[in-house]
Structure formats: C-alpha cells, structure tokens
Amino acid sequence: MNQFLKALCLIAFITFFAACKKDDDVSITPPRDFAVQYNSEKDSIVKYLKTHYIVNVDADYNISFDSIRNASQVSIWDQTTFPLQKKEMVRSTNTENLVDYTLYYLVLNQGVGNQPSRADDVLIAYRGLLLNDTQFDYNPFPQVPFSLYYDVAVEGWRELLPLFNAGVFTDVPGDPNPARFENYGAGVMFIPSGMAYYNQSQGLIPAYNSLIFSFKLYAVNYTDIDADGILNKDEIYAPFTDIQDVDTDGDGTPNYLDIDDDGDGYVTKRERLKYDYTDPANPVPFNPAQYYEFADIPTCTGGTLPRHLDPNCHY
C-alpha cells in the first residue's frame, strides 16, 4: 500500500511541474538580442493591457479577460478596481540579459500569511495564458509545494510572488465544509519572455512569447538554500528588500547562496556556534555543539554587525 501511495504522489508531482518547472525536454531557437526582443514584447504587453478588460473576478479570485468591444468596458490599464502595478527591474548580475524590465501585475488580494523569498517553497494554484488568450496550462488544485529556486523556470515568478502573502489554512472540526485556504494572496502577472522561457518553446508556448499567469498563493514554506542555519528570508538587512541584492563580502554570490557570508574564511554555520567562556582566554565550542538562532547571533566587542557578517569577528 505504501508503494502504491508513493507511486500516486510521484505521478501528481510530475504532472504538477509539467509547464513551469525547469525542463530539459524543450525546443530551442536561435537567440535574439534581449533588448530588441523586449522592446517588441513590451509594446505587445501594453497593447494587451489597453485593449482587454476584466470581465469578472469571483469570490475565489478567479479572473477572466476579454477584448474591449464597447466604451463601457474599461481596459486593464485604466480600470481602478484592481489598479495595475509594476515592478521596475534593474539587471546587473546576468551577463547575457542586462535588460531593465518592467513587470506589470494586478493585486486581487494581498493575503495575510507568510511572504516568500525568491528561494522558498510555495503551494500555488495558477492558470497560464498567451497574449492571444490561448490557455497553455491550468493547475487549480495544487497538491505539492515547489521551490521557487530549484523548480521554477519563469524568473518573473521569483520577482513578483514575494510581493504577495500566503493564506490561512482552515480546518474546523465538525464543519461540513472541506478544509481550505482563506485570505490568500491572489493576482495576475504579465511576464515578457526574457523573464520566462525566452527562446525555448515549452509545450503550447512558442519561443519568444510573453506570458500571463493568474495565481493564488496558498502557503509558504521557508527554506535555507545554503544550509547555514539561517533561513533565506533572514539573509537580508536594511536598506535591502530582496535577498538577491545582499552580498556582504562582495564576492558576487548573494548571502542566501553563500556559505561564508562575510568572506573571512569561517563558514557562517561555524560562526553561529555558542562558545564556553569558562576560560576567557581560550573559548571553546560547547560539546555537543549548540547554535545561536538567527535573531540571537551576537556581535563582537566594538562591532555593529552580527558576527557572521563581520569579517573581523569569528567568535
């Protein structure tokens, strides 16, 4: 029976990732200049936003669009019920694609739960459309969370999903209604191909196609990609707002992927060790090892940063 259940879970897992996961089974066309391609797609995305309107948003935040046919139908661009928002991206780390993208999105509901970083696991329902309104994917009942870092090929997801909050799981004993997520983040994102599959065709998605995703962010599982004992979401400090921008030692690897955040030759996990100061001149780690939680990592005498971010401080 256990093997049978495992087989069913594996089938569900494979099916879930069919469209949005990283996949080697793709068709690749010759690459174009990123800036030239984006200028073309940017015009197409803006045209879609100005020539389509929101037909309906139901109580579960399912949304539908259609082409404008009369003056009473207000465009996605101009409507104010769900004001169109945008994120301006300044690219400086990808040596091939240095285009500064504008990512448009709609907030249908902000959500009240945890907010993911670009490297956490999420449970999300979604629907994918091309700009010609062709549906290329639909997953209304997700069963398995997936990693925004390892499993997602659409980079735009990593940029925009962290702007939303997850929901709250409700399972009331004796309630005839099934367990469900409530007050979850829900929205729509309009993604140029340079932040998606670009020159790769994926199933019903041709190469060089902008994508539309409506989504519901049900749950977030915080993770620790570099296994240093500090969650991805905590690998950040003011004035930064994105873990991708935090690189304490300036080695080109952001802290959430760097096992030695301050580049002092002592890995971050070691700098979280608690020491026995019975002999102040010769402090030694406790045996068995004990570690500070992130919020309790101390600074060294005269320092201002936690010791895992201070290259002059090791214990």
What's the Cα-to-Cα distance from 166 to each of 16, 54, 120, 131, 250, rounded to whole Å?
A: 19, 23, 12, 27, 32
Mark whether 9 and 149 lie in a shared domain.
yes
**63 pLDDT above the threshold of 90:** yes
Q: What's the confidence (pLDDT) of residue 74?
A: 98
pTM: 0.87
Mark whether 233 and 202 lie in a shared domain.
no
Q: What's the confidence (pLDDT) of residue 217?
A: 98
Q: What's the confidence (pLDDT) of residue 98?
A: 83
pLDDT in tens, 201-211: 999 999 999 99
Residues spanned by the domain of 294? 225-315
Mark whether 258 and 291 lie in a shared domain.
yes
Whether 126 is in a domain gets the answer yes
Mark whether 215 and 243 lie in a shared domain.
no
Whether 190 is in a domain gets the answer yes
Whether 302 is in a domain gets the answer yes
Confidence of residue 134 (pLDDT cuts 50, 70, 90): very high
Q: How many domains does the chain have?
A: 2
Mark whether 235 and 213 lie in a shared domain.
no
E strand residue ranges, 41-191: 52-57, 63-67, 85-88, 102-109, 121-130, 135-139, 146-147, 168-170, 180-182, 185-191
What's the rounded Cα separation, in Å, for the pair 282 and 115? 42
pLDDT > 90 in the chain, percent: 77
Q: Are 311 and 262 in contact (CB under 8 A)?
A: yes
What's the rounded Cα separation, in Å, for the pair 67 and 51? 6
Find the radius of gyration of the CA atoms of the chain.
23
Mark whether 88 and 172 lie in a shared domain.
yes
Q: What's the confidence (pLDDT) of residue 60?
A: 97
Burial of 227 by CB count in 10 Å (0-12 exposed, 13-18 middle, 19+ buried)? exposed
Arithmetic mean of pLDDT, 237-266? 92
Mark whether 239 and 136 lie in a shared domain.
no
How crowded is residue 244: how many other Cβ atoms within 10 Å of its Cβ?
20
Mark whether 30 and 170 lie in a shared domain.
yes
More confident residue, 14 or 134: 134
Q: Are 197 and 207 in contact (CB under 8 A)?
A: yes
Q: Which helix (H) or strand (E) holds 24?
A: none
Arithmetic mean of pLDDT, 235-256? 90
* Residue at a domain's end among 221, 255, 283: 221
Whether 63 is in a domain gets the answer no
Confidence of residue 123 (pLDDT cuts 50, 70, 90): very high
Whole-number average pLDDT of the chain:
90
* Residue at a domain's end among 191, 221, 251: 221
**292 pLDDT above the threshold of 80:** yes
* Residue at a domain's end among 172, 191, 221: 221
pLDDT in tens, 161-185: 999 999 999 988 888 888 899 999 9
Whether 194 is in a domain gets the answer yes
Q: % helix / strand / coil in the chain, to the nearest 5? A: 20, 25, 55
What's the rounded Cα separation, in Å, for the pair 151 and 92? 23
**93 pLDDT above the threshold of 80:** no
**26 pLDDT above the threshold of 80:** no
Q: What's the confidence (pLDDT) of residue 2?
A: 41
**61 pLDDT above the threshold of 60:** yes
Mark whether 299 and 233 lie in a shared domain.
yes
Q: What's the confidence (pLDDT) of residue 5?
A: 37
What's the Cα-to-Cα distance from 219 to each of 122, 125, 169, rounded to whole Å?
A: 6, 10, 8
Confidence of residue 267 (pLDDT cuts 50, 70, 90): very high
What is the DSSP annotation of 150-172?
TTB--HHHHHHGGGS---EEE--
Whether 299 is in a domain gets the answer yes
Whether 59 is in a domain gets the answer no
CATH number of the domain encompassing residue 167: 3.10.50.40
Confidence of residue 20 (pLDDT cuts 50, 70, 90): low
Mark whether 175 and 36 lie in a shared domain.
yes
Q: What's the confidence (pLDDT) of residue 22?
A: 53
Arithmetic mean of pLDDT, 279-293? 93
Mark whether 117 and 160 lie in a shared domain.
yes
Whether 42 is in a domain gets the answer yes
Mark whether 260 and 199 lie in a shared domain.
no
